[in-house]
Amino acid sequence: MNQKQIMRRYLRELLVSMSIYIVILIASISILERIELPKIWQVVITLLPAIPVAFVIIVIMRLLVDSDELQQRIQLYATALSAALTGFITFSYAFLENVGFPKFSTFLIFPMLVAFWGISLGYFARKYQ
């Protein structure tokens, strides 16, 4: 399979997974807002959107495995830089919390990681063109 076919398959699988995620997320929020449920069911329904996210991870890993060595290297560098920047920022902010800064929501870590990955990916892709 050539790189163009791999990317087409990746985008299709990613779109399906993310569409399912959005539907489940909206449904779970609606259910939790409208129906009083026992705590165990609240937990189950709250965690349902994580299932399609697991499929997104599988899709991303398939893309990496099927990519050529240069693309794998670019992804490795982008991921490493993203993890390092996210770690540095969250670690540094933890010290600021000691002097009264508001608590940092862990909900923001993944979007930060993805944003840095996207920026890093653009940088390394240009560097290796």
Q: Among 41, 67, 93, which residue terminates a domain?
A: 67
- Residue 27 scores a pLDDT above 90: yes
Same-domain check for residues 76 and 104: yes
3-state SS of the chain: helix, strand, coil percent to 5? Answer: 85, 0, 15
Euclidean distance between CA atoms 60 and 121, whole angstroms:
14
Same-domain check for residues 61 and 80: no
Quick one: tokens of 22?
């959005």
Same-domain check for residues 1 and 63: yes
Per-residue pLDDT tens over the stretch 92-107: 999 999 999 999 999 8
Quick one: tokens of 108?
């923001």
Per-residue pLDDT tens over the stretch 61-71: 999 999 999 99
- What pTM value is reported for the model? 0.77
3-state secondary structure 64-103: HHHCCHHHHHHHHHHHHHHHHHHHHHHHHHHHHHCCCCCC
Amino acid (1-letter code) at residue 129: Q
> Residue 98: enclosing H or E segment and its boundaries?
none
Number of compact structural domains in the chain: 2
26 or 107, higher pLDDT: 26
